[in-house]
Amino acid sequence: MPSTSKSQQRLMGVAYAVKKGDMTLDEVDAEYRDKVQELVANMTLKQLKDFASTKHEGPPDKVDEDAGI
């Protein structure tokens, strides 16, 4: 499944790096540490890689979550 935004892609990339062992949770910005820890615990390495490997062209920088309301 592709990421819906560049922001999501970056977050998934960080979670992928942590799960793979290329990064430690201590290296993650404190603002995102809990979310990354949750992603690492609940997603497989393949799922994280699929989200993180979305092509850079196309997705917006950020998805407005309130747009559909």
* pTM for the model: 0.76
Q: Tell me: the pLDDT tens digits for 14-67?
A: 999 999 999 999 999 999 999 999 999 999 999 999 888 867 666 556 666 654
Question: Which pLDDT belongs to residue 63?
Answer: 61
DSSP of 2-66:
--SSHHHHHHHHHHHHHHHTSS-GGGS-TTTHHHHHHHHHHS-HHHHHHHHT--SSSS-SS--TT
